[in-house]
Homo-oligomer: A and B are copies of this chain.
Amino acid sequence: MKSKLCALALLCGVGVCQAAADPTLSAWNDTAAKTAIEQWVGHATTPGDPAFIPQKQRYVVFDNDGTLWPEAPVTFQLQFALDELKRLAPAHPEWQSDPLISAALKNDIKTLAASGSKGLFKLVALTHSNMTTEEFTQRVTDWVSTQKHARFGCGYDRLGYLPMRQLLDYLRQNGFKTWIISGGGVDFMRVLAEKMYDIPPEQVVGSFSLSEFSLTDNGTQLRKTMNGAFYDDAAAKPVAIHLFMGHRPVAAFGNSDGDVPMLQYTSANPDVKTFGLLVHHTDSQREYAYDAHPPASGTLVNGLTLAGKYGWTIVDMKKDWKTVFDPALCPGNGTVLTTTTP
């Protein structure tokens, strides 16, 4: 029976039989976190094992900001919005008299943050709506191809965490379908997710608002609006998973309290032995160290408290990751380029 399954696995290109000894997680140190991942995958993919999960149920969900790429000192998307605001400002002198927009133009994140969701919504409206979906894609593409992360000195599309990219590959090799469930905007992330993570647009779920369809002289257009805005964070993540993915996940990977409901929803899956993981940012040398008082977003307090109850694995970035960024993509590899504090 086993040899037949191995043959099948080879035929399908799925490394079922070598799951527990897979060498592809080379950016992980040989610590408990890596062992926990490999053991769970091993059981989940071994037919006959009490924890075996049929391939049709192997849906796994990943947060993005702080889980697959950095979120400090501000999220990539907030940086994009701030840069766009500056790019567009010369054509909008009226923005100067708006205290919130004026603060954003001066990089005064504190004032912006103090305004709560109001300021953020305004900033997003000015930079993420009132253009076609194609125009928006082009703007993100242009931004990524010209801007670099201030601390790491590399393009944003080069800063996916290598251990997590390997984990995505490893899970896919074992028959899991990998999804992003993020507070980030879906149209923003989809420009980058396929290239960076090999995750196609339809498996990228995030905050969204509705576009508007119309006929044009030579075709059709979808124009981005702020209508029906949905912020995909915290308790909204399980809602989005149900709406977009339509399956209960068997594993969930996050890094902040905003991911806790998604992990709880996953852990409560009645059908299978699930897996939950939280990336703890403990590495001020190679990346950032924060939890209770994050630089911008990403508080991790409840998650650390609840991990024991739910059996979630905590990744200590400093101890568990051999490498943070892919040296082939970002030669600095997380070495401090400007400052160690966010």
Are B133 and A242 in touch, CB under 8 angstroms? yes
Stretch in A163-171, A205-213, A291-299 with 4+ CB within 8 Å of B = A205-213
Q: A219-B268, A219-B270, A264-B220 in contact; A243/B208 too (CB < 8 A)?
A: yes
Return A160 CB to nearest CB of chain B, in Å: 19
Are A211 and B239 in touch, CB under 8 angstroms? yes
Using CB atoms, name the residue of chain B closest to A243: B208
Q: A219-B268, A228-B230 in contact; A247/B213 too (CB < 8 A)?
A: no
Q: A213-B265, A215-B264, A264-B220 in contact; A190/B246 too (CB < 8 A)?
A: yes
A239 to B212, CA, bound (A): 7
Where chain A touches its partner, the secondary structure class is: mixed
Interface size bucket, A side?
A: 35 or more
What would be 10 A-B contacts, judged by CB atoms less than 8 Å apart?
A201-B246, A202-B202, A202-B203, A202-B247, A210-B239, A211-B242, A213-B239, A213-B261, A215-B264, A228-B228
Return A331 CB to nearest CB of chain B, in Å: 30
Return A73 CB to nearest CB of chain B, in Å: 29
Return A270 CB to nearest CB of chain B, in Å: 7
A238 to B265, CA, bound (A): 31
Give me 8 other A-B pairs in contact (C-beta within 8 A), A200-B246, A212-B239, A222-B242 excluded.
A202-B244, A208-B243, A210-B230, A212-B235, A213-B235, A218-B268, A220-B264, A244-B244
Using CB atoms, name the residue of chain B closest to A209: B243
Give every chain B residue within 8 A of A245 (Cβ-Cβ): 201-202
A238 to B238, CA, bound (A): 25
